[in-house]
Structure 1
């Protein structure tokens, strides 16, 4: 009899801290997240284990610590040696346990293992799927190439902004701002994540007010500025809103991915005919503590599987907590080939302005990105047109390898931006 084919697997890599030895907690996690439980059961036969139990692939010990990262009543109830063991571990899971079910995959790699009593620190660091398995998920429909095609922008970053003030503008006021931005040559506009369907600016009224403005400028420019209108809501609401944007001639929709959820985004993706702009608000709750949550490397892979086309990565020297090297690494992760799925368009936003272009370009070494500046464009002292011009000029200087000061001598919008924003 021929030997059976090896089972198909996918793997997850973790940082783990525990009151028990790393070898033991790795086996506990593998059992908990597959066929095992806290005691042996008659039904867990050798045959079932061979088919369904996860396996520990490797363990890389790290230096132990004397205090737990996270509290655990379970640990408090039991004597231990006062040492908390740390390691990076990799666990392989049978594909047959999950199938093409993203919710089930998440329950497998990021479910109850976070609640195990022996665990005092846990972070999902990475995922690895074979291309034939990844292809069973939705994946991005547009990604970088499709976004550039729809926006009509090639060979440079898409320069964009956020509707500001974030909330409070009526549909008419929003349309007036969009008109000014389009007149200035903007590539991309997005709603703030706080703006979805408030009673003073309902989604449908905003769409009706904004689309004629975009169409008029599209006729003038030969390309439509991409406007990611926020369709976040229930699944039914998002599908209806997507269809309304499509029917009106729009070219992008935005969702707050963490709050509408993976299954909702995947369902939207399978329905959608427009790029999905993924806003990650709330991401800090999932990643800010280094001993808990998710790395962005794993996070972007999950959203890539769900089918977003753009994903926010923060901004360099921004108003948020994240260091620049982490921001740039996140963008690289979005652009890196993985499992045959299209790369994501990384979106740099938060405290951005023209003077950051050289550092961003130097760190990333690529122009496949969106660079969004709210105040950096709308708050330019000479107005929106000058703000947009300064962003273009900053990137022209960056890509050409010309110092900002030198380039600003013959580019007044950039010169004013350097004076106005340079000390912020």
Structure 2
């Protein structure tokens, strides 16, 4: 079987701001060119024919292969399945151009195209991983991006020419609001810029968000008066969508001056919704990222998710940092930092925060990276 040339194009002819370029690495028992063409078919117009009608939607709506190379051959895929054939399996890297008109500035439809049924159920592709996403300026500018960005954060909180120091109040689950606020106040007085709720703490029966925010707001103001420095309390407002705005209002009324969302569990469309009316910086926590990024050869690179969170409007983006617990290589951490900073239309840069089980002795290494 020969791959239909209609699924292939010269990238130079598509650099008009109307195409996104997604890089995938996949394994297949088929000829890689045929598998890549079918990937484009599955991600765009599958060319079902209406009876008695001759039409071809591919010139306008079809995804296109703009680069393809075979990396290696192996007798079995990374993740064997009873549905695999006898092999061998070719591993290939493909760059697919996706027409932005198919999905618009719509996170739900963009993710469905990039990481949906079509991508992961393309015939003959055993494993596939989205490794990079290049977004044209014209498309990026249709998203809000960070409201404050790095420069705005520095101006708002008076942190100049040095890193921000973030800390999480622990124990993360079980503290009453008064005990939580006391620990936060001690940390602020000790030199931390920001104390935050843990990702597993939001509006709990034993620690209501409004009460915790009020007590932390009072503690923050006392620490500011003592140290002469602005301090940051990050309140986690993650909840059902209908409760996001009430939590935003209660947190700010109490004294929070930054808000956290568990970005992927909540969903990028919901995060973008909060960005539309939030009056303070937004911080994204990396929950669920490992579940779709850690398996070799499968899922999506974490830096792609960081880029999408920046587009959604997060000013501060947490991602797994260095250390044995976080299982992140230096290359992965650097890629996430780059996703926060790289040019992206008129969108501001987000503040990259590699974290997770970091201790004071790790600060020099982290600073060298960021």
Give the alignment's TM-score, normalised by structure 2.
0.89
Match of 1:354 in 2: 360
2 CA distance for matches of 1:7 and 1:119? 29
Deviations 1:196-252, CA, capped at 9 Å, x for gaps: 122111112211221111123334445431111111111121221112223334210
1 CA distance for matches of 2:97 and 2:108? 18
Once the two structures are TM-superposed, the CA of residue 96 in structure 1 deviates from its matched residue by 1.2
Matched, 1:66 2:75: yes
Matched, 1:85 2:95: no
- The range that moved more, 165-174 or 248-257, is 248-257
2 CA distance for matches of 1:276 and 1:241? 13
Once the two structures are TM-superposed, the CA of residue 358 in structure 1 deviates from its matched residue by 2.8
Once the two structures are TM-superposed, the CA of residue 324 in structure 1 deviates from its matched residue by 3.2
**Correspondence for 2:110 among 83, 105, 108:** 105
SS across alignment from 2:165: strand
Q: Work out which of the two has the higher radius of gyration on C-alpha atoms and give 1 or 2.
A: 1
SS across alignment from 1:361: helix
1 CA distance for matches of 2:321 and 2:109? 32
Once the two structures are TM-superposed, the CA of residue 361 in structure 1 deviates from its matched residue by 3.1
Match of 2:137 in 1: 131
SS across alignment from 1:123: strand
CA contact (8 A) 1:12 1:127 kept: yes
Deviations 1:112-146, CA, capped at 9 Å, x for gaps: 11123422111111111211111111211112112
Match of 2:272 in 1: 266
Compared with structure 1, are the counterparts of its residues 318 and 152 closer, same or farther at alpha carbon in structure 2 (3 Å cutoff)? farther
Once the two structures are TM-superposed, the CA of residue 46 in structure 1 deviates from its matched residue by 4.7
2 CA distance for matches of 1:355 and 1:83? 47
Once the two structures are TM-superposed, the CA of residue 57 in structure 1 deviates from its matched residue by 0.8
CA RMSD of aligned residues (A): 2.2
CA contact (8 A) 2:233 2:258 kept: yes
Once the two structures are TM-superposed, the CA of residue 260 in structure 1 deviates from its matched residue by 0.5
1 CA distance for matches of 2:50 and 2:69? 30
Match of 1:181 in 2: 187
Matched, 1:17 2:22: no
2 CA distance for matches of 1:177 and 1:66? 56
SS across alignment from 1:93: strand
Matched residue count: 355
CA contact (8 A) 1:124 1:295 kept: yes
CA contact (8 A) 1:35 1:44 kept: no
2 CA distance for matches of 1:63 and 1:300? 29
Give the alignment's TM-score, normalised by structure 1.
0.78
1 CA distance for matches of 2:94 and 2:204? 46
Matched, 1:50 2:55: no
Segments of structure 1 that go 5 or more residues without pairing to the other structure are 367-424
SS across alignment from 2:109: helix
Once the two structures are TM-superposed, the CA of residue 106 in structure 1 deviates from its matched residue by 0.8
Match of 1:338 in 2: 344
Matched, 1:159 2:186: no
Matched, 1:255 2:261: yes
Once the two structures are TM-superposed, the CA of residue 21 in structure 1 deviates from its matched residue by 1.3
Match of 1:201 in 2: 207
Once the two structures are TM-superposed, the CA of residue 6 in structure 1 deviates from its matched residue by 6.7
Compared with structure 1, are the counterparts of its residues 46 and 340 closer, same or farther at alpha carbon in structure 2 (3 Å cutoff)? farther
CA contact (8 A) 2:216 2:256 kept: no
Segments of structure 2 that go 5 or more residues without pairing to the other structure are 1-14
SS across alignment from 2:57: helix
